[in-house]
Structure 1
Amino acid sequence: MGRGLTLEQLAQELNQMDVSYNQKKNTGSQLSKWECGVNTPTYLDIRQLAEFFDVSTDYLCGRAIKKVDLVETLASSADVCFGVQKLDTKEKGELYELIKGFLKGRKERGLHGIAEENGDMQLNLENFDEEDDRC
């Protein structure tokens, strides 16, 4: 995640970002005070940092990534999307059955791992046709 920037360079990068919600200028001294706990960044500052580093504000605030129970999610009335496609109730049921079958087959074949890097699953999406709109 680190980009090898000094605090002054980071402040300059943040000041160059095109964000409508945070118009005040940052300084290396200000960022140093955040880092040392002398001052606390505002929500807008945290939001801008999250955007710059491409992480969530929760991550910057030290909140753990929430585990999602897929069974619960698929059984609920919550919207579930795959890329741009919203899944209806029947599709959510079919997805549940696919996952259940996959896990059963994996267990029967003795496969117990997924390629991971830094705790994130690596997906090959080279042939995945994704549109700009998101669900």
Structure 2
Amino acid sequence: MFPERLRALRQGRGLSLPELADALNQSLTDYPRERANTGPQIGSWERGVNAPSYIEMMKLADYFDVSLDFLTGREYTEIELDDLFVSTAKLNFDGHQLSSKDKMAIYGMIKGYLHGKQLETNHEKVQSGELTLPLDKI
């Protein structure tokens, strides 16, 4: 998955292999112990012959502004919103970064919506006879 994603990102920017190598080499000041990248080296990554180091992966992710998860092909089929809202991750919506207060308010709205939906579903089940509740709970 990584080779395909790297090739798609590079070609999407209209870069040749040497151009991408040059772009990555500009970040060597952030990674002083790394050697310069070359076009053939990146080509070997795209063909799956070799794999980049962790630092090289970080450089690629930074350059293309993508996560390491995306770059390596990890896909999430399910995300628990509880975890997302209580995480320290910066959440953005419509170009605005949400504050902690915003995140908690939105979290509360989602919980309220789901609670109301559950009550509505239970009420419908009671009326159709699928669910029976004690009379004091209706």
After TM superposition, the score normalised by the length of structure 2 is 0.56
Residue aligning to 1:28: 39
Alpha-carbon spacing, 1:72–1:61, altered in 2? closer, same or farther (3 Å): closer
Alpha-carbon spacing, 1:80–1:87, altered in 2? closer, same or farther (3 Å): farther
Alpha-carbon spacing, 1:87–1:66, altered in 2? closer, same or farther (3 Å): farther
Compute the displacement of 1:84 (Å).
Answer: 6.3
Residue aligning to 1:7: 17
Which residue type is aligned with residue 21 of structure 2? Answer: A
Deviates more, 1:3-12 or 1:96-105: 96-105
- Structure label with greater radius of gyration: 2
Q: Say whether 1:69 aligns with 2:80.
A: yes
Identical counterparts, % of pairs:
39
Residue aligning to 2:60: 49
Counterpart Cα distance in 2 of 1:81 and 1:35: 31
Higher RCO (CA-CA < 8 Å; seq separation 6+): 2
SS of the aligned residue for 1:17 comes to helix
User: Any conservation in 1 of the 2:28–2:36 contact (CA below 8 Å)?
Assistant: no
Q: Provide structure 2 residue ranges, at least 5 long, that are not aligned to the other structure.
A: 1-8, 92-96, 118-138
Alpha-carbon spacing, 1:85–1:27, altered in 2? closer, same or farther (3 Å): same
Higher helix fraction: Structure 1 or Structure 2?
2
Which residue type is aligned with residue 85 of structure 1? Answer: S
Counterpart Cα distance in 2 of 1:53 and 1:81: 19
Counterpart Cα distance in 1 of 2:80 and 2:36: 42
User: Any conservation in 2 of the 1:34–1:41 contact (CA below 8 Å)?
Assistant: yes
Compute the displacement of 1:66 (Å).
Answer: 6.0
Equivalent residues in 2 for 1:1-135, closer than 5 Å: 1=9, 2-17=12-27, 19-21=29-31, 23-65=34-76, 67-71=78-82, 78-79=87-88, 83=97, 85-87=99-101, 92=104, 94-100=105-111
Equivalent pairs, count: 100
Residue aligning to 1:125: none
Which residue type is aligned with residue 100 of structure 2? Answer: K
Compute the displacement of 1:37 (Å).
Answer: 1.6
Q: Provide structure 1 residue ranges, at least 5 long, that are not aligned to the other structure.
A: 106-135
Counterpart Cα distance in 2 of 1:79 and 1:3: 31
After TM superposition, the score normalised by the length of structure 1 is 0.57
